[in-house]
Chain A
Amino acid sequence: MNSKVLARLALYSTLLVAALFFLAPLYVMLATSFKDAEQIRSGNLLSLPASLNFEAWALAWSSACTGVDCRGLQPYFWNSVSMAVPAVLISTAWGAVNGYVLSMWKFRGSELLFGLLLFGVFMPFQVVLLPMSQVLGYLGLASSIGGLVLVHCLAGMAGTTLFFRNYYSAIPKELVNAARIDGAGFWRIFVRIVFPMSTPILMVTLIWQFTNIWNDFLFGVAFSGADSKPMTVGLNNMVNTSSSVKSYNVDMAAAVIAGLPTIVVYILAGQYFIKGLTAGAVKG
């Protein structure tokens, strides 16, 4: 009996230590963001801030400098919003329609074509950077938010198609066949029968795409111009700007602001995010 209690105690303390390990960087970020320069100089990573001082947050949001540009993260935040919203919606809708065809309206060769499309989920996007930047130039979309939306739709489509195709494959065929016999057509079946059943996979895909697109750095750094840099690029530039005095509190506040949207989504709808992670991995 005693050894059993001891084993449980060891189990819980190990789990707790692990939780602290994962939470520590978040704590450090928050604590540092509330300190002033003096507290950072005299304290250490874990020391509590003297008060909830939002000065660094205000600086990070609206007036911290990246080079000569002193508008804080605000413009990058809105760039990210106006990039992520259309890109998430379009890539999800596109994937839903593709998945519907590839699961319920299979045609000769559709499985093979789908298999070839799947490589898009895994390919290193470094391969598309140089051709894509030329194509964006031809289209007049170089350095624009529209260009980033296009890239994210193309890059995300293979994944969203996979999600919906796998989900729709589990819907009983009888349902669709019955509707077909009743004379319902392609779109009618989708709108009336299939789409209303899609809420879970819709959530998974929307959250998955939002997290990926919001967090993207590669396309953002390669294809954006002065006025279209997304949040991740703005944050990276701000933190790595060489200035005489490093304001770690502002850097940490900026990092928390940049991470906030995806963290909020994760806390509110974590189970969908986890489903997306595992669905993409377990069945490629």
Chain B
Amino acid sequence: MAHWQTKRLEDALPKLVVAPAFVLGFAFIYGFMLWNGVLSMTASRMLPNYDEFVGLEQYRRLFEMDRWWVALKNLGIFSVLYVGGSLLLGLCLAILLDQRVRAEGALRTIYLYPMALSFIVTGTAWKWILNPSLGLERLMHDLGWQSFHFDWLVQSDTAIYCVVMAGIWQSAGFAMALFLAGLRGIDDSIIKAAQIDGASLPRIYWRILLPILRPVVFSTVLVLSHLSIKSFDLVMALTAGGPGFSTDVPATFMYVMSFTRGQIGLGAASATMMLATVAALVVPYLYSELRVKPHEF
């Protein structure tokens, strides 16, 4: 091989090496996005069928379905309480752990271990804990609270709050870890200066540290919200969308329509709606992250 040929190969090598990632990755992300979009405009039922183009008909059907509205309402309830609850609990734990406590490492490990578990495992455990007769209710009776009655898991108007509970239990440690990392990144001298000025500890946290943590709060909210939109496993394990379809969320709706009800067109339309929601949340964030500091970790 001539020298200039070797040279050109050397120059092209990095591009060649990374090419499969972009070709396959973009096919997987954007190609499938488009494909799913096409499917959502067909009359596909049991099998994909590209012959019959129906425009936005599936979307019209979607938004005329009670079940979809239930899923959206549940997503609203779940997102707000799950994100808010995890955030609040995580923040409290992080601030408490930040007080030079002994055994901080062990406590942190305990708070965060649910994050390593599958939502299916968590859901299975909580399903048993929330069991209407043998679970919490029995425990409270044995502890002497005879009138305690707890059957939220099997009531269609309360079951979604059980999903929220299990979700917060799983994710609060994650928020704690992010906040703690943020708090540790703050220069000690800021706190010392405030203390010298006579500010009380709660005041220092509320007025000085929390505002500094705003970017961390922001990215935690972002990550938790996109998790809540995608949440599927937990609902499947805990309630499977039931009783009836009272705890359906968009992710379970999409799965049921596409894979068990033979409504592929409708399933694809609901997936597009999920995509649009996540994109509205994430794209501005990605855009600003990449613009501000393109070269830095």
- Which residues of A are at the interface with B, using a C-beta cutoff of 8 A? 11-12, 14-15, 18-19, 21-23, 25-26, 28-29, 32, 40-41, 44-47, 94, 97-98, 101-102, 105, 107, 110-111, 113, 115-120, 122-132, 134, 154-155, 157-158, 161, 166-167, 169-170, 185-186, 211, 214-215, 217-218, 221-222, 232, 235-236, 239-240, 248, 251-252, 254-256, 258-259, 262-263, 265-267, 270, 273-274, 277-278, 280-284
A255, B275: Cβ atoms under 8 Å? no
- B-side contacts of A277, CB under 8 Å: 115, 174, 177-178
B116, A25: Cβ atoms under 8 Å? no
Once the chains are docked, how many angstroms separate the CA of A268 from the CA of B15?
38
A115, B290: Cβ atoms under 8 Å? yes
A270, B286: Cβ atoms under 8 Å? no
A255, B121: Cβ atoms under 8 Å? yes
B294, A25: Cβ atoms under 8 Å? no
Asked if B2 is at the interface (CB within 8 A of a chain A CB), the reply is: no
- A-side contacts of B136, CB under 8 Å: 45
B28, A128: Cβ atoms under 8 Å? yes
**Closest chain B CB from A226 CB (angstroms):** 15
How many residues on chain B are close to A (CB under 8 Å)?
Answer: 101
- B-side contacts of A157, CB under 8 Å: 21, 24-25
A117, B29: Cβ atoms under 8 Å? yes
Please judge, given known A-B contacts A113-B22, A130-B264, A169-B297, whether A281 and B219 are in contact too, CB under 8 Å. yes
Once the chains are docked, how many angstroms separate the CA of A270 from the CA of B168?
20
Interface centre among A11, A45, A251, A267 (most CB of B within 10 A): A45
Once the chains are docked, how many angstroms separate the CA of A94 from the CA of B24?
12
Interface contacts (Cβ under 8 Å), in number, total 274
Chain B positions 79 through 101: 1 when the CB is less than 8 Å from some CB of chain A, otherwise 0: 00000000000000100110101
Q: Name B's interface SS.
A: helix
- B-side contacts of A124, CB under 8 Å: 226, 229-230, 251, 271, 274-275, 278
- B-side contacts of A252, CB under 8 Å: 124-125, 128
Please judge, given known A-B contacts A262-B118, A273-B116, whether A155 and B254 are in contact too, CB under 8 Å. no
Chain B positions 91 through 135: 1 when the CB is less than 8 Å from some CB of chain A, otherwise 0: 001001101010000010111111111111110111111010011
Interface centre among B25, B216, B290, B296 (most CB of A within 10 A): B25
A154, B28: Cβ atoms under 8 Å? yes
Once the chains are docked, how many angstroms separate the CA of A116 from the CA of B107?
38
